[in-house]
Structures are given as structure tokens and as C-alpha cells.
Amino acid sequence: KQEVTQIPAALSVPEGENLVLNCSFTDSAIYNLQWFRQDPGKGLTSLLLIQSSQREQTSGRLNASLDKSSGRSTLYIAASQPGDSATYLCAVGGSARQLTFGSGTQLTVLP
Amino acid sequence: DTGVSQDPRHKITKRGQNVTFRCDPISEHNRLYWYRQTLGQGPEFLTYFQNEAQLEKSRLLSDRFSAERPKGSFSTLEIQRTEQGDSAMYLCAGGQGTDTQYFGPGTRLTVL
């Protein structure tokens, strides 16, 4: 059974800092990995999707990497802003593309 | 805005009652997923449709739960004889092609 772990569970940083969120998974037989953002009481917003054959994806200030063999992914956020405050969820896609999620990292960016 | 809508956004019910939720993906979404999220946890997969066919169901989906997607468009998730443990956010996601899943805003269920 696939298990996804995200560390740290919570992170507080001053505005402007660069930061890294970590995600690890137990079964390397994945089809893809997706990073989401969730604001309190809201649905999920897709940030980046990495296919299993890819090593990284970039969108604006966000960069996600994937190392399938070691079961790890990182989400790098450059020049953090207060508007980046949210919970960030990592999810790995299975054979039917159903997603297995981690518990998330709650990020607070202090002005 | 992902284009995926869910109705209702909030539902409060008494234990033992039946509830039904609706999800409307965009027309291009041939895949549709249901997930359940409890406080402080990531969403957990419940079931998956490819067009109108229900292709996979999680063991979390007990016999009190049923989902349908008639005509491969909107989907409904029904919970019979609700229990307090069913209280959660129920999320629907649509997808196609590139595997990205687009989530709706969710339905928050509270069972008293």
C-alpha cells in the first residue's frame, strides 16, 4: 500500500525567504506526482504535475523535483510572499491515476 | 476556478439519515474522482469513473456508500444511514489527458 509522508508538518518563514517542502513515498511504481495548494475550508488548487518519466517541473516561483528511485519529491518556493500561506499537499498517482495524498505542510509566510 | 462545481457546499444531517452530493465537472473531463478529507489530513481516494463506468472503488467505500455517473457527465455520491464518522469534506475532481486533476470546492458534511 502506497504511503506518502510530508515533512515538516508546519513551517513559518519571514517574507522573501526561499523554502523547500519535502515529500516521500514508499512505492516507486508511480505514474505521476502532483503538488496542490489548499486554503482553509477550500478545495485543492493544482500547482505542478510531474510525470514519472520527468525529473522536474517549473511554474513561476515554484519548482518541483522528482526522484522516483529514492521515493522523494521536493517543492521549492522562491522569494516567499504572505499570499503563499496555505497548506501544501503532495500526491502520487496510481495505475488509475487515483491520488494518494500526504497530510500536508502548513506554510505561514510572515510579512 | 477549475470549472468543477459541487452541491451543496455544506450539509448538516442527523445520524441515520441519507444524504446525496452532486459533482459537475466540465464537459472535457472523461475521468471523475471522489475523495474524502478529514480535518488535518490529506484527501483519501473513494472511487473513480471513466466516462459512465465506475472502474475502481476504495475499501473505504462501505456498502452504505454508492456513486453514479449517468451519461458520463455529472456524478452523485449517496451515503445511506449516516454515522458521525462520515463527517468530512467530500471532494470531487475531474481530469483528462495530462492526468492533472481539477478539484471542486467540496461538500462539508456534518453528522449530528
Cell of A77: 518556493
Separation in Å, CA of B79 to nearest CA in chain A? 21
pLDDT digits (tens, 9 = 90+) for B24-61: 999 888 999 999 999 989 999 999 999 999 998 998 88
What distance in Å separates the CA atoms of residue A80 and residue A97, rounded to the nearest whole number?
A: 31
Q: Do A96 and B48 touch (CB under 8 A)?
A: yes
CB-CB: which of A93, A101, A102 is closest to B99? A93
What is the pLDDT of chain B when averaged over all its residues? 93
Q: Do A99 and B43 touch (CB under 8 A)?
A: yes
Angle value at C-alpha B40, between B36 and B46, nearest 5 degrees: 15
Residue B99 has pLDDT above 80, yes or no: no
Residue A55 is classified by DSSP as S
Question: Which chain B residues touch A93 with a CB distance below 8 Å?
Answer: 99
Cβ-proximal residues to A20 (8 Å cutoff; 6+ apart), any chain: A74, A75, A76, A77
What distance in Å separates the CA atoms of residue B85 and residue A52, rounded to the nearest whole number?
A: 35
Cell of B47: 472511487
Cell of B77: 455520491
Range B83-86 contact pairs with CB under 8 angstroms and sequence separation of 24 or more:
B83/B15, B83/B111, B84/B15, B84/B111, B84/B112, B85/B111, B86/B111
Helix (H, G, I), strand (E, B) or coil at A84: helix
Strand B44-50 to strand A4-7: parallel, antiparallel, or no bridges (unpaired)?
Answer: unpaired
Q: Are A1 and A66 in contact (CB under 8 A)?
A: no
In which band, very low, low, confident or very high, does the pLDDT at B112 lie, cut at 50, 70 and 90?
Answer: very high
Hey, what amino acid is at B39?
L
Q: Are B33 and B45 in contact (CB under 8 A)?
A: yes
Percent of chain B with pLDDT over 90: 76
| Among the ranges given (A35-39, B29-33, B82-86, B98-102), the one the predictor scored with the smallest mean pLDDT | B98-102
Task: Considering only the C-alpha atoms of chain B, give the largest distance between any 2 of them, rounded to a whole number of Å.
Answer: 41
In which band, very low, low, confident or very high, does the pLDDT at A1 lie, cut at 50, 70 and 90?
Answer: confident
In which band, very low, low, confident or very high, does the pLDDT at B98 lie, cut at 50, 70 and 90?
Answer: low
